[in-house]
Structure 1
């Protein structure tokens, strides 16, 4: 993938993150802390639904894209089974009336349940249509489809404020659902040739069975991964309060800055590495990418530890603890991104059960961690548990990939990641007490980083200066 295409793919996540940073403080100032917490449960439900009903076929679509000629037919095989199951589930959910909203929000209103159902359907469809843009390397269209919904959400929230509309849960859910429906419509327009051809394509049952053999093990793994990323919010809902959930969800939202790296890299990496594998390109490129991503991950942790105090400036006083919690929250996007560079052996060998096993082990660890830490530390405990669990997830994916494919150097990988995770945990729980010491700690790690990755730094400086990179 050329630098121009990478930039095109990067516009969306970066622009969406910037708009998110603008809209998030506005939401915290104008909507109640309880309603912000309830929206966290809304997001958890959307992610669970997409993972469950995709049946792992979204991953099969990515894996088989470069191997098949009829790509619209591949889209149909990947999308149709889950869409049928989701339709049945939606009908059942609507028949339950107010139960959906009562369980999610603690508010028994039928219209909230209808909005949730609409969001579930549009999120599922958007997931597969986004893959069409991603795999066809249509970076600008992909980015605009991510950017415009965030802009719409900001416009709607701004409209509420300008019109002095009710700052209640209904309007907050409505704004988010409208943004999801809008992105689905944009994806549908940008991929109309592909899905219209897919509708006319014949459904190949044998090929579908082959895709399901790859994808079905990912259902359990997908559920485990959902639990790994969402069980903290579920436990906070059960063991704490919507206020704690709001503080945690805002911390996670600010951690979306690290999610820019995850989103851009994951979008570009999967098609690229499978293309390399098909072309028989050696392991050296994968190792080089891994070092660059490791450098960005360590730098991200250090900068978050040194600069997290800035977020408190933009938030109401009751969100003051976000500045400590956010450093552990970036563990999910950063460590997941790093694991994407080390897990390639599982995808290339098609042994998806190992990826599932890594998710299950990390999920069980997070389950125990949240049960133990949330009653003691509240939202901070949830952040710490998830950060540690994602390091275990990254470790298992790396070791399984080495076992199934080829060895890779791991000493630098593990020593740096353990150092930053340890620092994040201490910072989140005791950072307010150890403020000066934590600054020293992050500066020491940053100094070690500068020494360990001096070659990569020189190469980047050389590229920025448009001269040949210096290699020592």
Structure 2
């Protein structure tokens, strides 16, 4: 993948994170804390439905794409079974009136159930059509389809403000459903040649069975990872309140800025490391890359701990707890990204069951942590549980990779991540009471970072300096 292609795919996650940071404060100022929490349950449901109803065929589509002679027929085999199952399920649920909205929002209204059903179907279709763009390396179209719904959501909410519309749950669900449907329409337009050809193609049942044999076992691992990232919201919905869920979802959304690193790195890293593996060289760089990502992870925790108070300037007073919770919330994207550098042994040896086992164990830890902490600490407990669980996830992926492949230096990895996660936990639960002590803690972490990673810092500045000098010479400046 060329730098230009990488940049095209990076526009989506980077722009999406920026637009999310803009739209989020707007939503918190004009909608109630409870309704913000209810939207978190909508997002959890969308993620679960895509995972469940795809039947693992989305992974089969990716696996067989480059080998398939008839790619539209492959799209039909991958997309059709789950779509039929999802539509039938949605129709059955809608026959019970407002039951779906009652389960999600505790507001059993039929029109809300219809909007949720529309969002479910549109999200499912978007998942497969986005894979068409991704596998055909149409990075710019893929990124634009990610950015446009966020822009539409901002435009709709801005319209509500201008016309002084009711700031109620119905309008908030309508805005989200409209944005999701809009991205589905954009994906549909950008992939019209593929899905129109897919409609005309013949459904090969034998090949479908083969794809299901590959894809269905992957659902277990997918469900475990979904649970690892979503069970905190389900527990908050059950053991706390929509207000706590609202505070937590806002914290997670601010922490999503760290997913820029995760998204961009994942786009580049997997193809690169497997290319090294196929060529039998370059794998010595894995340790070097891991050290660089560790430096970014530790720096991310330290800066979040020192600067989290900034978020209070953008949120209403009832979201003051976000400044403490957000530091633990960044644990998910940062630790997951770091684990991508240490898990390569599992991928190279093709022992994916170990990756699944790591997700299942971390999910179990998160279940226990949420059950234990949420009744006492609410949203703070959920953030701490998820952060610790992702450290366990990172640790297991690293150790399994070493067991299956070869040793790697990890004393520094574990030392700095434990220090960062422990600091995040204390900061989230007791940071307000500790005050200046926590500032001192993060300053010590930052100073230690400067000492330990001074070589990496020099290399980065040296590389940037050389690039700037080279560009200046090209332009004659």
Cα distance in 1 for partners of 2:93, 2:61 equals 28
Deviation at 1:411, TM superposition (A): 2.1
1:89 paired residue number: 89
- Whether contact under 8 Å (1:135, 1:271) holds in the other structure is no
Q: Are 1:126 and 2:126 an aligned pair?
A: yes
Deviating more after overlay: 290-299 vs 193-202: 193-202
Deviating more after overlay: 96-105 vs 128-137: 128-137
Cα distance in 2 for partners of 1:47, 1:245 equals 17
1:329 paired residue number: 329
- Whether contact under 8 Å (1:14, 1:260) holds in the other structure is yes
1:429 paired residue number: 429
- Whether contact under 8 Å (2:339, 2:394) holds in the other structure is yes
Deviating more after overlay: 451-460 vs 12-21: 451-460
Q: Are 1:345 and 2:378 an aligned pair?
A: no
Structure 1 residues 213, 400: closer, same or farther in 2, change over 3 A? farther
Deviation at 1:42, TM superposition (A): 0.8
Cα distance in 1 for partners of 2:71, 2:463 equals 36
- Whether contact under 8 Å (2:273, 2:283) holds in the other structure is no
- Whether contact under 8 Å (1:134, 1:267) holds in the other structure is no
Cα distance in 1 for partners of 2:335, 2:435 equals 24
Q: Are 1:116 and 2:116 an aligned pair?
A: yes
- Whether contact under 8 Å (1:427, 1:438) holds in the other structure is yes
1:60 paired residue number: 60
1:26 paired residue number: 26
Structure 1 residues 346, 306: closer, same or farther in 2, change over 3 A? same
Structure 1 residues 273, 189: closer, same or farther in 2, change over 3 A? farther
Deviation at 1:13, TM superposition (A): 1.5
Deviating more after overlay: 394-403 vs 138-147: 394-403
Cα distance in 1 for partners of 2:152, 2:54 equals 27
Deviation at 1:291, TM superposition (A): 2.6
Structure 1 residues 187, 438: closer, same or farther in 2, change over 3 A? same
Deviation at 1:235, TM superposition (A): 1.1
Deviation string, structure 1 residues 63-104 (Cα, Å, up to 9, x no partner): 444455544444333323322322222222222221100111
1:446 paired residue number: 446
- Whether contact under 8 Å (2:277, 2:283) holds in the other structure is no
- Over alpha carbons, which structure has the higher Rg? 2
Deviating more after overlay: 319-328 vs 47-56: 47-56
Kindly report which structure 2 residues correspond to 1:298-377, keeping only aligned pairs within 5 A, or say none: 298-377=298-377
Unaligned runs of 5+ residues in structure 1 are: none
- Whether contact under 8 Å (1:56, 1:212) holds in the other structure is yes
Cα distance in 2 for partners of 1:406, 1:69 equals 37
Unaligned runs of 5+ residues in structure 2 are: 470-477
- Whether contact under 8 Å (1:122, 1:180) holds in the other structure is yes
- Whether contact under 8 Å (1:214, 1:352) holds in the other structure is no
Structure 1 residues 394, 214: closer, same or farther in 2, change over 3 A? farther
Cα distance in 1 for partners of 2:407, 2:209 equals 32
Structure 1 residues 135, 345: closer, same or farther in 2, change over 3 A? farther
Deviation string, structure 1 residues 154-174 (Cα, Å, up to 9, x no partner): 000000000000100000001
Kindly report which structure 2 residues correspond to 1:22-421, keeping only aligned pairs within 5 A, or say none: 22-421=22-421
**Secondary structure of the corresponding residue to residue 403 of structure 1:** helix
Structure 1 residues 372, 72: closer, same or farther in 2, change over 3 A? same
Deviation string, structure 1 residues 302-324 (Cα, Å, up to 9, x no partner): 11111100001111111101000
Aligned residues: 469
- Whether contact under 8 Å (1:254, 1:326) holds in the other structure is yes
Cα distance in 2 for partners of 1:342, 1:208 equals 34
Cα distance in 2 for partners of 1:126, 1:408 equals 39
Deviation string, structure 1 residues 173-204 (Cα, Å, up to 9, x no partner): 01011111111111222223333344444545
Deviation string, structure 1 residues 104-152 (Cα, Å, up to 9, x no partner): 1010100101111111111112122222222333221121111111111
Deviation at 1:205, TM superposition (A): 4.5
